[in-house]
Amino acid sequence: IIYHGPWSIDNPFLIPLGSTVESLGMSELRNMADGRGEQRGCCRRNPVCCGTTLILVAGFSFVVAVALGATYHPLRNKVDEIIKSKVAMTPDSAAADNFLSSKAPLYSTYHFFDVKNPKAVEDGSERPTLEEVGPFIYRENRTKFDPKWHDNETELEYKLNTTYTLDGKLDPKSFYITTVNLPLIGILTTIEAYENDPDHKYRELIEELIKLLDEAKKLFDWEGLFVTHTVEELLWGYDDPLLKFLHCFLPSFIPSYRFGLENRSKLEFPNRVYTGKGDLSLVAQYIEWNNLTHIDGWGTKTAGMINGTGGYQFHPGMTRDENITAFISQLYRSGYFSYEKDASIYGIETYQFGLPMAELSNKSQDPGFYFDGPSGVLNLTAVYPQHVPIFASKPHFLDGDPGYVANVTGLHPNRSLHDSFLNVEPLTGAALGASKRIQINLRMQPYDKIPELKTIQEVMLPVFWVAEEGSLTLSLANEFKQKVY
Task: Specify whether the CB–CB gap between 41 and 425 falls below 8 A.
Answer: no
- Of 69, 82, 85, 77, nearest to 37 (Cα)? 69
CB atoms within 10 A of CB 225: 21
Q: Amino acid identity of 212?
A: L
What are the angstrom distances between the C-alpha of 477 and each of 289, 403, 418, 483? 31, 42, 25, 10
- Of 358, 422, 466, nearest to 58 (Cα)? 422
Instruction: Determine the pLDDT at residue 483.
Output: 67
Dihedral of the CA atoms 268, 93, 484, 312 (nearest 10)?
-10
- Tell me the β-bridge partners of 324: 337
**Phi, psi of 258, deg, nearest 5:** -95, 130
Instruction: Determine the pLDDT at residue 197.
Output: 67
Residues 6+ apart with CB under 8 A from 289: 268, 271, 306, 327, 329
Q: Amino acid identity of 218?
A: K
- 8-state DSSP, 32: H
Instruction: Determine the pLDDT at residue 86.
Output: 63
Residues of the chain predicted below pLDDT 70: 1-87, 102-104, 196-202, 220-222, 483-485
Instruction: Determine the pLDDT at residue 5.
Output: 34
Instruction: Determine the pLDDT at residue 359.
Output: 86
Over residues 368-402, the pLDDT tens digits come to 998 877 899 999 988 987 778 999 999 999 999 99
Task: Specify whether the CB–CB gap between 102 and 466 falls below 8 A.
Answer: no
Over residues 184-209, the pLDDT tens digits come to 888 888 787 777 666 666 677 777 87
CB atoms within 10 A of CB 207: 12
Cα(70)–Cα(64) distance, integer angstroms:
14
Instruction: Determine the pLDDT at residue 291.
Output: 95
Residues 6+ apart with CB under 8 A from 377: 360, 391, 392, 393, 397, 400, 404, 441, 460
Instruction: Determine the pLDDT at residue 464.
Output: 98
Over residues 395-447, the pLDDT tens digits come to 999 999 999 999 999 999 999 999 999 999 888 788 889 999 999 999 998 88
